Amino acid sequence: MGYKDLRFKEDAVFLVTGGAGFIGSNLCEAILDMGYRVRCLDNLSTGKYENIEPFTANPRFTFIKGDIRDLDTCKEASKGADYVLNQAAWGSVPRSIEMPLLYEEINIRGTLNMMEAARENGVKKFVYASSSSVYGDHPTLPKKEGHEGKVLSPYALTKKVDEEYGRLYKTLYGLDTYGLRYFNVFGRRQDPDGAYAAVIPKFIRQLMRGERPTINGDGRQSRDFTYIDNVIEANLKACLAPSEAAGEAFNIGAGGREYLIDVYHDLCKALEKEVEPVFGPARAGDIRDSNADISKARELLGYDPEYDFAKGIGLAIGWYKEHLA
């Protein structure tokens, strides 16, 4: 079952931090469509107001422009919220290697502020974005919770620390936290621009413009590319998960594994562009292969992803064709 039939109490309030970003804005939209109230807290650093602008006419939607590095802002935003979906963070492995201090401030301190605020305000469930990057250099595939290696970037370390705080806030304070280890999410509204853009929207944008995309490495790296609707499902199911499952982190992937070079050729075909890629050097801090074992999320959250890669990429390409000039 997907997420659209899930039911919460009628006047439920969801706080989505990072709600103006790619994943956050999709969460805001899905929850509004289901008829519940949404507060979006975002400082618009990497997110865009245009992602949430269509929701502002909805009386069940509130936008708070603010920073999760400020504890008072977090407390104010989470007052009266039933559920917190903490998405605010800075992404990108290479950028974190350039700016480790900033990642510490936003991704660790910011998330800790939000957990503290949620604890003080008696929030029912605190669901937060972690990342498959926590698996670091552990070689086994598929990736399974409990088998993490050494992290390869400051970004991955911030997510690993967040998970430790998530565990502690459950055991010490009884806050029901659920860490969702997203595996390369893609879909509508993901930003195609900038040096740190994710590979799928970036390639789509470049191919549509007739540019030659660069593949870092030989293209034989593999990823469990996960369509956005699977991630929405995971967040909402975590809000309804039993307390006994809290304090834990869960793989949220589609359970598949695509080679980057194959994805590239799929995109060329779908966009009717025959462009040879440029091959650049492999990137420091990147995992070579990634593929999620999703049995823990299936068992404890009832996660049952509806979209495999093929179904998701078709929808994503359709969206970009319509929305990118």
Ligand X SMILES: NC(=O)c1ccc[n+]([C@@H]2O[C@H](COP(=O)([O-])OP(=O)(O)OC[C@H]3O[C@@H](n4cnc5c(N)ncnc54)[C@H](O)[C@@H]3O)[C@@H](O)[C@H]2O)c1
Active-site annotation holder among 103, 155, 227, 303: 155
Count of all residues that appear for the chain in the document: 325
Single residue of 89, 115, 241, 313 touching ligand X by CB under 6 A: 89
Verify whether residue 155 is a known catalytic residue.
Answer: yes
Contact between 305 and ligand X by CB under 6 A: the answer reads no
Interaction pattern, residues 163-202, with ligand X; x per rule: CB under 6 A: -------------------x-xx------------x----
User: How many Å is the Cα radius of gyration of the chain?
Assistant: 19
Select from 13, 27, 38, 88 the one that contacts ligand X (CB under 6 A).
88
Determine the Cα–Cα distance for residues 271 and 268; give it in Å rounded to an integer.
5
Q: Which of 4, 7, 35, 45 binds ligand X (CB under 6 A)?
A: 45
Neighbours of 322 (CB within 10 A): 8
The secondary element (H helix, E strand) that includes residue 73 is helix 71-78
- Residue 69: CB minimum distance to ligand X, A: 5
Give me the least distance between CB of 244 and ligand X, in Å please.
25
The window from 81-89, 202-210, 256-264, 291-299 that contacts ligand X (CB under 6 A) reads 81-89
Kindly state the number of chain residues that form the binding site for ligand X, as judged by CB under 6 A: 28
Side chain identity at 296, as an amino acid letter? K
Question: Applying CB under 6 A, which of residues 13, 30, 31, 68 lies at the interface with ligand X?
Answer: 68
Q: How far apart are CA 49 and CA 11, in angstroms?
A: 26
Candidates 45-53, 166-174, 292-300, 302-310 — which segment interacts with ligand X by CB under 6 A?
A: 45-53
42 counts as binding ligand X under rule CB under 6 A: yes
| DSSP result, 228-280 | HHHHHHHHHHHHTS-GGGTTEEEEES-S--EEHHHHHHHHHHHTT---PPEEE
Q: Give, in degrees to the nearest 5, the angle at Cα 56 between 187 and 79.
A: 95
Cβ distance to ligand X smaller for residue 110 or 312? 110
Q: With binding defined as CB under 6 A, does residue 247 bind ligand X?
A: no
Q: Please state, in angstroms and rounded to a whole number, the distance separating the CA atoms of residues 267 and 74.
A: 40
Quick check: 69 binds ligand X (CB under 6 A)?
Answer: yes
Say how far apart CA 106 and CA 194 lie, in whole Å: 20
Sequence-ordered strand ranges (E) for the chain: 13-17, 37-42, 61-65, 83-86, 125-131, 176-182, 185-186, 214-216, 222-223, 226-227, 248-252, 258-259, 278-280
| Minimal distance, residue 112 CB to ligand X, in Å | 12
Residue 23 within binding range of ligand X, rule CB under 6 A: yes
Which residue in 74, 110, 241, 301 binds ligand X (CB under 6 A)? 110
- Residue 221 in the binding site for ligand X (CB under 6 A): no
**Residue 55 near ligand X by CB under 6 A:** no
Least Å from the CB of residue 127 to ligand X: 11
- Paired with 249 in beta bridges are 179
Show the tokens assigned to 242.
Answer: 């039993």
Q: 78 vs 131, which CB is nearer to ligand X?
A: 131
- Return residues touching ligand X (CB under 6 A): 18, 20-24, 42-47, 67-69, 87-91, 106, 110, 129, 131, 182, 184-185, 198
Active site residues: 155
